[in-house]
Amino acid sequence: MAVSYKAGPIAGDLPKLPITDVLGEVTEALARGTRAVLSAPPGAGKTTLVPLALLDQDWCSGKIILLEPRRLAARAAASRMASLIGETVGERIGYRMRLDNRISARTRIEVVTEGVFARMILDDPELTGISAVIFDEFHERSLDADFGLALALDVQSALRDDLRVLVMSATLDVDRVAGLLDDPPVIKSEGRSFPVDIRHRDRAPNERIEDSVTRAIVEAHANETGSILAFLPGQAEILRTAERLEGKFGPETVIVPLYGNLSQKEQDLAIRPAPTGQRKIVLATSIAETSITIDGVRIVVDSGLQRLPVFEPATGITRLETVRVSRASADQRAGRAGRTEPGIAVRLWHPGQTAALQPFTPPQILASDLSGLALDLAHWGVQDPKTLAFLDPPPGPAFSEARGLLTQLGALDPQGSLTEHGRLMRELALPPRLSAMAIFANEEGFGREACLLAVLLTEQGLGGSDIDLDERLRRFRNERGDRAESARRLAERIASNLPKTSQSSEPVTAGRLLVHAYPDRIALQRGGRGRFVMANGRGAELPETERLAASQMLVIADLTGRAAQARILAAAEISRADVEAELAGAIQQKDECFFDRTSRQVRARKVRRLGAIIFEEKPLPRPAGEQAAKALAEGVRELGLQALPFSKDGMQLRERIGFLRRSLGEPWPDVSDEALLTRLDDWFVPFQGNTSGLDSVEPGSLSEGLRSLIPPAVAPDLNRLAPTHFEAPTGQRHPIRYDAEEPTLSIRVQELFGLKKHPSVAGGKLPLLLELTSPAHRPIQTTRDLPGFWTGSWKDVRAEMRGRYPRHPWPEDPAEALPTTRAKPRGT
């Protein structure tokens, strides 16, 4: 059934969907103001109907830009809107993405991927000819979407007070987003198109996810009708599931994968309706969560897992982690089953686990390489990202690392401003490392080859999956298909933005090109076949069966895994001669002092090195003085404080200082392991003199160093506030232990006779924990209130101990008795 929304050139008759009921609220909100938030469940129709409804509004004289998180969603949205008005894509409805544009002079609604919009607004801050920007599926919180919204709000506030901004999502943290937009109208569309029956099938702890998904698919296929959409974390799990399903169904059932590396034709095949009389099983990643309708699907099987990139600023490595989906994603996935008819969602986890899921997927900005963002912000004239309206500001450490990399690549000057080199890097529409590579290569006549390699690295699946990038580049040059041809055209467009230079006809290896993108990831074989150490000091590995495993040197373009066990995903071989020729300025020759872990000694050498890669070294005489002490401190950082020979008194001193820090706070210094390792240059290095090895460190120097951390103003109070011993009424001195949560004194109970006040430390503020022992030094009682013990439980202790130790005094009133360390004389 169609509903007449508003007569006009486009929005005359639109299909009636759940979103229809609130379209009037949306148009009214944007007629009265310039910002709004729309929350609508999956299947409501917001992606297609809202842009069409807005196009006929009086304020909309220009284009509407609709942002989608993925290319597949952008193409699908444009195709659906075009079909609703009886046109083909490229007329009044078009799309624009990195490898494919379908727009014309007539286009009024442009569906773009989020990265494309960021470049649009950076290149034209006034957004000339654009009336509205719609952020669809904003809950996915991609870095480009967060950045695009921050820029749009900045432009709206400073340059375009007539620009409309609408944020839409199926599962949205409405309050936070509305707060970011200064609390505009929030419109909510209730209910999905059709009900979804959510069922649970708990997965065994050790069962492989593809086995669990396969079993659920087979069961659903046998007991239910309709096509099936199964969500798996990644391509590998999809392919293994497809293998397990092979032969389990007849010709009336077709199995199709859906993930990012597939061609456009293969992706379109997955979302098209199954032929008449057939059922379809779609095995998909999170790519199918939002913005697309897979016709005929009424059963969803959800593994509950997704694969998210996690960037480690300290290593420059982005690794993929398999994690549980958020509750919002689980709802999105279940909603796929109710898009066209009542459906079923099978969740492969216990129902009680749903409450433990994170409410929303973590925003990408908190765990991404921020070098591209930092470059764009510098172009925008912003050095502090907190001055823009980010829902979650970029993390400080990651942003600092990103700016450091850009400075190293020559994109930023020491003040953080964009250089001419940086402006050229930005114009290339490549990640900063690859932009730098293209510019350097162009100067040597290899700009086109570098751009071809850059596109290969940024578009997954081109040239195959070989780790060897020379092999992949060779295949990519000759690869057939629309996607490969589009990628090669993109490389040509990028190369056309490089300064005009004569291009060399000589062949060039991928390794020679990559050294200017990843100088920190040049790797030398060390430790055997397939084991490498990179210039940044991290290790990386290849399977021994890989051809590149025998290489002496590599340049690594992509790797994953933890820093200690990084696995190489893409690399190219390079010779030492090429490294020295290409990076002559980065190779250092110097005398250096270092800690030799094997001998636990400080040594010196003359070296030629590129970061952690040593090309040549020559021993020098053993060093001494501050230089040696600093190298020794590096050894302590490497081995930990347990490598230092603290004396018993030194350990007690550290415990006493630590007690005062915990009890009284500053200015008493922090002497935890972490703090002492951080401050080795303050308390360790100045007291080592000519020490050249850990085994010759004097325990007294460590105690002296610890005392030096105590501010002079409070140093005289150490013995008063945290005494080493307690003097008993007998005159005996007993050590006080500070190694527990509270200071403790272990003492025979007879030595405290006559004491009417409980012993304390910290200027009388904290009572000692008394471990009272028998004459045989066995514990009989602990107390923090000695007078209370005398008048209380002493009676029971006395009754028990008199029979066990008859030769020792057990007076009825110990507070009035004489202390003693001796037994009673015989016969008394």
Average pLDDT over residues 131-147: 92
Average pLDDT over residues 137-155: 92
Question: Taking 60 as the threshold, does the pLDDT of residue 3 lie above it?
Answer: no
Could you tell me the pLDDT band of residue 114, with boundaries at 50, 70 and 90? Answer: confident
**pLDDT confidence of residue 245:** 94
Q: pLDDT above 90 covers what percent of the chain?
A: 62
Question: Taking 60 as the threshold, does the pLDDT of residue 1 lie above it?
Answer: no
Question: Taking 90 as the threshold, does the pLDDT of residue 54 lie above it?
Answer: yes
Question: Taking 60 as the threshold, does the pLDDT of residue 7 lie above it?
Answer: no
Compute the distance between CA of residue 572 and CA of residue 468 in angstroms, rounded to an integer. 6
Compute the distance between CA of residue 166 and CA of residue 34 in angstroms, rounded to an integer. 8
Average pLDDT over residues 43-48: 84
Question: Taking 90 as the threshold, does the pLDDT of residue 506 lie above it?
Answer: no
Q: Name the helix (H) or strand (E) containing 577.
A: helix 576-582
Does residue 712 have a cis peptide bond before it, meaning omega lies within 30 degrees of 0?
Answer: no
**pLDDT confidence of residue 4:** 33
**pLDDT confidence of residue 5:** 36
Of residues 659 and 823, the one with the higher pLDDT is: 659
Compute the distance between CA of residue 695 and CA of residue 698 in angstroms, rounded to an integer. 8
Question: Taking 50 as the threshold, does the pLDDT of residue 770 lie above it?
Answer: yes
317-331, 701-715, 793-807: segment of lowest average pLDDT = 317-331
Here the tokens at position 391 are 């829902």
- Residue given tokens 């004289």 in the structure block: 61
Compute the distance between CA of residue 310 and CA of residue 611 in angstroms, rounded to an integer. 25
Is the distance from CB of 343 to CB of 337 less than 8 angstroms?
Answer: yes
DSSP per position, 97-157: -SS-EE--TT--EEEEEHHHHHHHHHH-TT-TTEEEEEETTGGG--HHHHHHHHHHHHHHH
Is the distance from CB of 633 to CB of 684 less than 8 angstroms?
Answer: yes
Query: Which sign, positive or negative, has the C-alpha torsion 642, 645, 649, 654?
Result: negative
**pLDDT confidence of residue 337:** 86
Q: pLDDT above 70 covers what percent of the chain?
A: 96
Average pLDDT over residues 243-254: 91
**pLDDT confidence of residue 145:** 93
**pLDDT confidence of residue 8:** 42
**pLDDT confidence of residue 12:** 53
Closest CA to 53 of 90, 27, 89, 32: 27
Give the domains, in start order, of the chain with CATH numbers: 2-188 (3.40.50.300), 196-365 (3.40.50.300), 641-718 (no CATH), 723-816 (no CATH)
Show Cβ contacts of residue 778 under 8 Å, excluding neighbours closer than 6 positions.
Answer: none
Of residues 11 and 783, the one with the higher pLDDT is: 783
Of residues 765 and 67, the one with the higher pLDDT is: 67
Compute the distance between CA of residue 609 and CA of residue 136 in angstroms, rounded to an integer. 50
* Largest Cα span, the chain: 120
Could you tell me the pLDDT band of residue 192, with boundaries at 50, 70 and 90? Answer: low
Could you tell me the pLDDT band of residue 374, with boundaries at 50, 70 and 90? Answer: very high
Burial letters for 608-631: b for 16+ Cβ neighbours within 10 Å, e otherwise?
ebbbbbeeeeeeeeebbeeebbbb
Task: Express each pLDDT in 589-632 by its tens digit.
Answer: 888 898 998 899 999 999 999 988 999 889 988 888 888 999 99
Bridging pattern class, strands 601-610 and 588-596: antiparallel
Average pLDDT over residues 671-696: 92
Question: Taking 60 as the threshold, does the pLDDT of residue 180 lie above it?
Answer: yes
DSSP per position, 362-406: PPGGGGS--HHHHHHHHHHT-S-GGGS--SSPPPHHHHHHHHHHH
Of residues 353 and 132, the one with the higher pLDDT is: 132
> Phi then psi for 195, rounded to 5 degrees?
-70, 150
**pLDDT confidence of residue 755:** 94
**pLDDT confidence of residue 255:** 92
Q: Is the pTM of this model over 0.85?
A: no
> Phi then psi for 774, rounded to 5 degrees?
-80, 175
Average pLDDT over residues 511-529: 92
**pLDDT confidence of residue 193:** 63
Task: Express each pLDDT in 460-489 by its tens digit.
Answer: 888 888 999 999 999 999 998 888 898 999
Question: Taking 80 as the threshold, does the pLDDT of residue 827 lie above it?
Answer: no
Is the distance from CB of 71 to CB of 113 less than 8 angstroms?
Answer: yes
**pLDDT confidence of residue 419:** 93
Question: Taking 90 as the threshold, does the pLDDT of residue 96 lie above it?
Answer: yes
Average pLDDT over residues 293-301: 85
